[in-house]
Amino acid sequence: MGRTYAVSGKGGVGKTTIAAMMVAHLGKNGPVLAIDADPNANLNEALGIPLGQTLGGLRENMREDSDSIPGGMSKAEYVKYQLQLALVEGDKFDFLAMGRQEGPGCYCYVNNLLRTFMDGLADKYGYVIMDNEAGMEHLSRRTTRDVDCLFVVSDATKIGISTAARIRKLAEDMDLNIKSFALVVNRVGDSFNAADLGQHSFENVGTIPFDSAVERLALLGTPITKIPGDSTAFRAVGELLINARKWQQFT
């Protein structure tokens, strides 16, 4: 069974960029499933692929039009079929977008089906990378399997670190099966000193330096997967992934 890593953080800290670089790193060694679990989906843009059907849209379609299920096909079979259609396949990674739940009412039955099929799908991959919103909406619905490490991304400010700590507490209060947590301080400058972060609730901490190559790609709208291999930020994400395996050995 492969590993599942989730990336979370408040808006604007670079979590989607980091998630995309994780996909680019891990995709060199085997199949990766990238999941955009942020309702404001844009991981596909960072990866340079189109946004197809979202799973939230699938739920809405089934709620609004129960006749959309073809005759002779069960609801479970129909969800599995639509899930396969929503999967965008690439050379080094595949992609799914969760989307958002728009309408009222209970989605428990469909969510349970999605979790079952996504668990089976995820087992085919060496790694699953999930780009998540700060509120972790989809983790709370348990529409994906357990998480080996939750990377909480922050900027190098005390306010950012405090926000990251609240995100971790939210995840713990949800009683999710997250095996380890890591704080990732993004875009640190030359003058950054880890001691300046003060007290925080994370045993595991990683840093990613400010990198003009990342800013240049963002300015041009170029997928982050095109980043040069010698980029300092890209190398730092690689080290973060290596450390994540070590952190998990002690959890």
Q: What is the pLDDT of residue 34?
A: 94
Domains in the chain, number: 1
* DSSP for residue 152: E
Structure tokens at 162: 């405090």
Closest CA to 5 of 13, 83, 84, 20: 20
Q: What is the pLDDT of residue 158?
A: 85
Structure tokens at 59: 């739920």
CA distances from 28 to 13, 31, 242 (A): 26, 8, 14
CATH at residue 219: 3.40.50.300
d(CA 62, CA 68): 7
Q: What is the pLDDT of residue 17?
A: 96
Do the beta carbons of residue 115 and residue 137 sit within 8 Å? no
User: How many other C-beta atoms lie within 10 A of the C-beta of residue 250?
Assistant: 8
Q: What is the pLDDT of residue 223?
A: 95
d(CA 19, CA 122): 17
Q: What is the pLDDT of residue 91?
A: 83
| pLDDT averages per 10-residue partition of the chain, 251 residues | 87 94 92 86 91 76 70 78 82 85 58 67 86 74 74 91 90 86 93 73 92 94 93 96 79 49
Structure tokens at 132: 């998540």
- 149, β-bridge pairs: 5
> What range does the domain containing 226 cover?
3-248
Q: What is the pLDDT of residue 170?
A: 87
